[in-house]
Amino acid sequence: MEINSVNPPSSMGRRKLASPRTQLDRGNWIESAIDVLAHEGVGGLRVEVLAKRCGVTKGSFYWHFKDRQDLLAAILEHWKEGRIRDIEKTTSVTPGKEREQLHFAIEVYGASRNRKGMSIELAVRDWARHDPQAATVVEAVDLYRLECTRKLFVAAGMSDAEAKSRSLLLYACVFGLSLMHYTHFDDHLDDLKERIADRIVSV
């Protein structure tokens, strides 16, 4: 997966050269790469293409990353950290409000406004199908998701075994729906989704 390229500037060169004004910082490169990943998959993440897309030279890339593999690792780490923050935010709850929070989690993951986030999610999952490093990151995020949701179901009054099955069911539902085209299946999709959520959450 490596790409032949010019060597990154030496540490001495980095000290002497000021960062060009047109040069992106590391975070900008990662965000731009994630946008490409969502639309083109990991195969679209090529240094030359990213540089052209951002209107900079390849030298800007090598200012921040050793090589393409370094960028890929940074993307995975960025995605993992972002997902964990979102999971904690989505599953944090005031005692006595567990069911409301579970409904909220289903709504957030299944909402059309989250389309970009789901596109990124699916692109990372496709990447993980044939890349061990990506697979390890996705597994860690999934286990964290399931555990946080399991705790919510337990707090809502379910047994641990039931909470685990409901947690899996919740994510099977939201990710499964993200892969389907069902706009014309029912004239009242919001009501339909609400009934599905009620079945998942009800004790």
**For the ranges 21-35, 46-60, 119-133, 176-190, the one whose mean pLDDT is highest:** 119-133
The mean pLDDT of the chain is 85
User: What pLDDT shows up at residue 134?
Assistant: 97
Closest by alpha carbon to 133, among 71, 72, 42?
72
Name the band, by pLDDT with cuts 50, 70 and 90, for residue 14: very low
* pLDDT classification of 128: cutoffs 50, 70, 90: very high
The Cα 203–Cα 201 span in angstroms is: 6
154's tokens: 């337990």
Q: What pLDDT was estimated at residue 1?
A: 43
Average pLDDT over residues 186-200: 88
Q: Residue 94 — pLDDT band, cuts 50, 70, 90? A: confident
pTM here? 0.80
Higher per-residue pLDDT: 79 or 110: 79
Model confidence at 175, pLDDT cuts 50, 70, 90, reads confident
pLDDT for position 10: 44
Which pLDDT score is estimated for 53? Answer: 85
pLDDT of residue 22: 55
| Neighbour count for residue 199 (Cβ, 10 Å) | 11
Q: Between residues 24 and 131, which one has the greater pLDDT?
A: 131
Tell me if 137 sits within 8 A of 80, measured CB to CB.
yes
